[in-house]
């Protein structure tokens, strides 16, 4: 007598929906890489103030840790967040990513990186970042809009930890500047995009559940 996998590990409709949304968001996030590797041309959205921002190789550490933190956050949210809030979060993130990809493809931007001459560990991390991430997909900053959206919704979900989400956001945003991966306009454009999508999708609703 055989038992179906569904009988051994019963999955209700809501759980299926959570996992389906999670898979879609992860696929959308990783679509960044083929776009980044194939986009050409464009402009550099730099301001005069960008030239005064130094390269601090140690900031490669929080920059690199951002991607695994995103993935862990999405898995955590999919499994534990109140379902209506999870759906609203997913809608906001999905629309924001899609709009940003349209910018990357049809209005390409890139950053001019400094020459790395240091031989220390952190300089090697910077070279690792530069080696895996081409100079395109600058505006809007994906590090900025993804981190901001997580911080906004996690502050609604777990408000007692709001100072932590704010601290993480500040750390991530600074890391994009001090690794010379983004210009200030990239961050500002991402923040504006998040605000617009947040309100257009009705995300002013209070935490439910």
Give the pLDDT confidence score for residue 10 in this predicted structure: 56
The answer to whether the CB of 46 falls within 8 A of the CB of 183 is: yes
Per residue in 12-51, pLDDT (tens digit) is: 888 899 999 999 999 999 999 999 999 999 999 999 999 9
Give the pLDDT confidence score for residue 208 in this predicted structure: 40
Give the pLDDT confidence score for residue 15 in this predicted structure: 87
Per residue in 103-119, pLDDT (tens digit) is: 999 999 999 999 999 99
Is 11's pLDDT higher than 50?
yes
Once rounded to an integer, what is the mean pLDDT over residues 148-159? 97
Chain mean pLDDT for the chain: 92
Q: What is the 3-state secondary structure (H, E, C) of the chain?
A: CCCCHHHHCCCCHHHHHHHHHHHHHHHHHHCHHHHHHHCCCCECCCCHHHHHCCCCHHHHHHHHHHHHHHHHHHHHHHHHCCHHHHHHHHHHHHHHHHHHHHHHHHCCEECCCCCCCCCCHHHHHHHHHHHHCCCECCCCCHHHHHHHHHHHHHHHHCHHHHHHHHHHHHHHHHHHHHCCCCCHHHHHHHHHHHHHHHHHCCCCCCCCC
Cα atoms in the 13 Å half-sphere on the side-chain side of 192: 8
Torsion of CA 179, 180, 183, 188, to 10 degrees: -10
End-to-end CA distance of the chain: 41
Provide the greatest CA pair distance for the chain.
73
Give the pLDDT confidence score for residue 62 in this predicted structure: 98
Among residues 31, 52, 20, the alpha carbon closest in space to that of 142 is found at 31
Give the pLDDT confidence score for residue 201 in this predicted structure: 85
Give the pLDDT confidence score for residue 131 in this predicted structure: 95
Q: How far apart are CA 21 and CA 24, in angstroms?
A: 5
């Amino acid at each position: 007598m055989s038992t179906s996998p569904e009988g051994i590990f019963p999955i209700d409709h809501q759980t299926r929906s959570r996992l389906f949304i999670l898979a879609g968001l992860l696929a959308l996030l990783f679509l960044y890489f083929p776009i980044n590797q194939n986009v050409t041309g464009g402009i550099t959205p730099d301001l005069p103030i960008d030239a005064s921002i130094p390269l601090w190789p140690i900031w490669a550490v929080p920059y690199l840790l951002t991607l695994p933190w995103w993935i862990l956050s999405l898995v955590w949210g999919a499994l534990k967040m109140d379902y209506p809030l999870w759906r609203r979060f997913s809608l906001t993130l999905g629309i924001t990513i899609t709009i940003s990809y349209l910018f990357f493809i049809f209005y390409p931007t890139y950053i001019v990186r400094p020459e790395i001459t240091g031989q220390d560990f952190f300089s090697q991390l910077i070279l690792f970042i530069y080696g895996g991430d081409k100079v395109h997909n600058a505006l809007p900053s994906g590090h900025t809009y993804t981190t901001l959206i997580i911080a906004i919704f996690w502050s609604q979900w777990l408000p007692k930890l709001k100072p932590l989400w704010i601290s993480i956001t500040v750390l991530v945003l600074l890391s994009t500047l001090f690794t010379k991966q983004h210009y200030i306009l990239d961050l500002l454009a991402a923040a504006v995009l998040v605000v617009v999508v947040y309100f257009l999708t009705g995300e002013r609703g209070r935490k439910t559940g």
